[in-house]
Chains A and B, each alone.
Chain A
Amino acid sequence: MTAPLIELTDLTKLYVTGDVELRALDAVSLRVDEGEFVAIMGSSGSGKSTMMNVIGCLDRPTSGTYLLSGRQVSVMGKSELAEVRNQLIGFVFQQFNLLSRTSAVENVELPLVYAGVSARERRARATTALERVGLGARLEHRPNQLSGGQQQRVAIARALVNDPKMILADEPTGALDSKTSIEVMALFQELWRAGITVVVVTHEADIAEYASRVVVMRDGKILTDERHEPKRAV
């Protein structure tokens, strides 16, 4: 369980607006092994969102290399990146980003649609994923019929359904109350214990405590990188 999943080497991301040059990531190197639960922390402007976009294959670095599960993704085109996201990464967003007026189970099926899975298998796997996050009884509910916590569970089920190598969560508790936040973090811990690598980007220190490793960023660089015994969410 110590194979490297993410290997960032001298990763730099530049944003140029007119004469102003913003170094969002400044020669960052980071290695995340399979089976880790990493929290990337930092205030706004620290570069953690850029880091998350690059790790999630939504954005490409200006320079440096990114190996994801041994594949060189920093040189891939849009279509290839879409395929990598589809197969290796499950996304969870702050605003849930579920398709409105679409049932929970169909939302969860979405990644499988783009993976070319048959309708019957899609339904079966989406149902299993929803059962895993405790929403087996809410398959046909639409997002607007579900609470915030439930919507985030649907989003987690959607992230899980493709059996990804890692789940990438961007401020997953940002839109939730503290009780629901702990429930969601408990779910992440459960998935982590089941063997999935989890990367959570957050600015809240008490959320980061649930991870086994905390990476703190500032000004596009890694400030601290510590492993510790995660706080148990109940």
Chain B
Amino acid sequence: MNPFLTLRVALRAILRNKMRAFLTTLGIIIGVAAVIAMMAIGAGAKAQVEQAFAAMGTNLLIILPGSTSAGGVQGGFGSMPTLTWDDLAAIRAEVPTVKAAAPTMRSNMPIVSEEQNWTTGVTGTLPEYFDIRSWPIAQGAAFTQADVDSGTKVVVLGQTVAEKLYGASANPVGLTVRIGTTPFQIVGIAAKKGQSSTGQDYDDAAFIPATTYAQKVQGGLSKYLTGQIMVAATSADTTARAQSDIAALLRDRHHIAPGMDDDFSLRNLSEIAGAQAQGTETMTTLLASVAAVSLLVGGIGIMNIMLVSVTERTREIGVRMAVGAKPHYILAQFLIEALVLSLAGGLLGVAVGLGTATWLASRFKWPMLIQTDVIAISVGFSAFVGIVFGLYPARKASQLDPIDALRYE
């Protein structure tokens, strides 16, 4: 028998009781709408967290030097320089999963323009730093390796510093500022990066070549690197590999015997990002399972109404059987009717859910992310619910005795 014809019969039966059909599918509509809305908002929140960490770099590793230990008082990581410039060179040269590595040595210094002054964290680093942080330069350009090699007095300002010194719309590239007492030429302004997840302003910073920093700020280049090393792994997937390789390399270089503590610390940002994302995910899963339960309740509603429908149409079933409908035709007819009901509910639910998510997102300025796979799964699941809960009534209909069915009052 023609499936389109079966579909038409099912549609006609449903449209005969529009209000009833609507109320029946309401459970599915609400269930699917809840799933879609929750997942859209939840995924949006998760994506926002991920994006915030991606802005810092998910493939980012930070190597901190070891701690001092004076009379039992441990100074904490970074209190004693244990990382050397040779370590940095070795990491860059010997670890294949490392894309780039750059030192960051930082101290607070006043920066003085002709009219204003502003004290900010001045970082001595390498040109790769901007790649590692995926931080583009908005105006001018970053300093170059040549600047590092010759210790040129050039500076890249963060947006906030540029604004404090020259106002919002100025282009100070080429102008000269003094950092401490030394004049520096501004070669670039870094693009706006915004705030960290803890509220720290990334743009309140200035960057100068590492060699210049050592000479002018530290007062001479030493063997030890008085800061951290930032490392970018070749990809987010290789971060863990890079982390263990670097640890092994540094332990070897620092002659640390097995079983002894590291004299450095390696931090992986993607771990922190993962923990935050997991929190959102747990919440989303919780809400989605509540929504799934309401879908199940919707399925029971469909079963109920299908049973009513079978009883109401017992005579019709009898007539169809008498004129030659085989049991499996009757089964298919009622199954398709249940499927149409649940699928219509599912599709309406998607529309309502997307509408709700959009409204919530714009009303409360929440991020929102529409995932097509979630939509497909919701619609698929509602169809599944229709088939599962439609099967019993449909079987009941198909197993009716035509004689009894024809006599049914």
A53–B325 Cα distance when bound, in Å, is: 16
Q: Is B11 an interface residue (CB 8 A)?
A: no
- Complex: chain A residue closest to B9, CB-CB: A113
Interface of A is mostly: helix
Contacts of B2 in A (CB 8 A): 113, 116
Given A59-B403, A82-B325, A87-B324, A113–B319 Cβ distance below 8 Å? no
- Complex: chain B residue closest to A88, CB-CB: B324
Q: Is B365 an interface residue (CB 8 A)?
A: no
Q: Is A227 an interface residue (CB 8 A)?
A: no
Contacts of B325 in A (CB 8 A): 82, 114
Contacts of B241 in A (CB 8 A): none
Q: Is A75 an interface residue (CB 8 A)?
A: no
In the assembled complex, the CB of A15 is this many whole angstroms from the nearest CB of chain B, namely: 12
In the assembled complex, the CB of A198 is this many whole angstroms from the nearest CB of chain B, namely: 17
A169–B308 Cα distance when bound, in Å, is: 30
In the assembled complex, the CB of A130 is this many whole angstroms from the nearest CB of chain B, namely: 16
Contacts of A58 in B (CB 8 A): 322, 402-403, 406
Q: Could you give, for residues 1-39 of chain B, a 1 whenever the CB lies within 8 Å of some chain A CB and a 0 otherwise?
A: 110010000000000100000000000000000000000
Q: In the bound complex, do residue A86 and residue B323 qualify as a contact, i.e. CB atoms below 8 Å apart?
A: yes
- Complex: chain A residue closest to B323, CB-CB: A111
Contacts of A114 in B (CB 8 A): 1, 320, 323-326, 329
Q: In the bound complex, do residue B1 and residue A91 qualify as a contact, i.e. CB atoms below 8 Å apart?
A: no
Q: In the bound complex, do residue A83 and residue B323 qualify as a contact, i.e. CB atoms below 8 Å apart?
A: no
A92–B16 Cα distance when bound, in Å, is: 26
Contacts of A98 in B (CB 8 A): 319
Q: In the bound complex, do residue B403 and residue A86 qualify as a contact, i.e. CB atoms below 8 Å apart?
A: no
Q: In the bound complex, do residue B328 and residue A115 qualify as a contact, i.e. CB atoms below 8 Å apart?
A: no
For window 358-374 of chain B, which residues contact chain A by CB distance below 8 Å? none
A101–B299 Cα distance when bound, in Å, is: 28
Contacts of A83 in B (CB 8 A): 324, 326
In the assembled complex, the CB of B384 is this many whole angstroms from the nearest CB of chain A, namely: 27
A72–B306 Cα distance when bound, in Å, is: 37
A59–B405 Cα distance when bound, in Å, is: 12
Q: In the bound complex, do residue B322 and residue A78 qualify as a contact, i.e. CB atoms below 8 Å apart?
A: no
A87–B326 Cα distance when bound, in Å, is: 12
A229–B100 Cα distance when bound, in Å, is: 111
Contact with B323, one of A53, A85, A116 (Cβ below 8 angstroms): A85
A53–B318 Cα distance when bound, in Å, is: 13
Contacts of A116 in B (CB 8 A): 1-2
A-B contact count (CB 8 A): 57
Q: In the bound complex, do residue A82 and residue B403 qualify as a contact, i.e. CB atoms below 8 Å apart?
A: no
Q: In the bound complex, do residue A78 and residue B326 qualify as a contact, i.e. CB atoms below 8 Å apart?
A: yes
Given A82-B325, A83-B326, A113–B1 Cβ distance below 8 Å? yes
Q: Is B327 an interface residue (CB 8 A)?
A: yes
- Complex: chain A residue closest to B321, CB-CB: A82
Contacts of A53 in B (CB 8 A): 403
Contacts of A115 in B (CB 8 A): 324
Q: Could you give, for residues 91-124 of chain A, a 1 whenever the CB lies within 8 Å of some chain B CB and a 0 otherwise?
A: 1010001110100000000110111100000000
In the assembled complex, the CB of B147 is this many whole angstroms from the nearest CB of chain A, namely: 82
Q: Which of A58, A111, A162 has the most CB of B within 10 A?
A: A58
Contacts of B323 in A (CB 8 A): 85-86, 91, 110-111, 114, 158
Q: Is B131 an interface residue (CB 8 A)?
A: no
Q: Is A79 an interface residue (CB 8 A)?
A: yes
- Complex: chain A residue closest to B13, CB-CB: A101
- Complex: chain B residue closest to A122, CB-CB: B5
Q: Which of A83, A87, A110, A116 has the most CB of B within 10 A?
A: A110
Q: Is B87 an interface residue (CB 8 A)?
A: no
Contacts of A111 in B (CB 8 A): 323-324
In the assembled complex, the CB of B13 is this many whole angstroms from the nearest CB of chain A, namely: 10
A83–B315 Cα distance when bound, in Å, is: 19
Q: In the bound complex, do residue B324 and residue A86 qualify as a contact, i.e. CB atoms below 8 Å apart?
A: yes
Q: In the bound complex, do residue A91 and residue B326 qualify as a contact, i.e. CB atoms below 8 Å apart?
A: no
A116–B324 Cα distance when bound, in Å, is: 11
In the assembled complex, the CB of B209 is this many whole angstroms from the nearest CB of chain A, namely: 82
Considering the complex of A and B, which 6 residue pairs feature the smallest CB-CB distances, nearest first?
Answer: A86-B324, A114-B324, A111-B323, A82-B326, A79-B326, A97-B319
**Pairs A–B under 8 Å by Cβ, sample size 12:** A58-B406, A59-B403, A78-B327, A79-B326, A79-B328, A82-B324, A83-B324, A83-B326, A97-B318, A99-B319, A101-B16, A115-B324
Residues of B that sit less than 8 Å from A by CB: 1-2, 5, 16, 315-316, 318-329, 402-403, 406
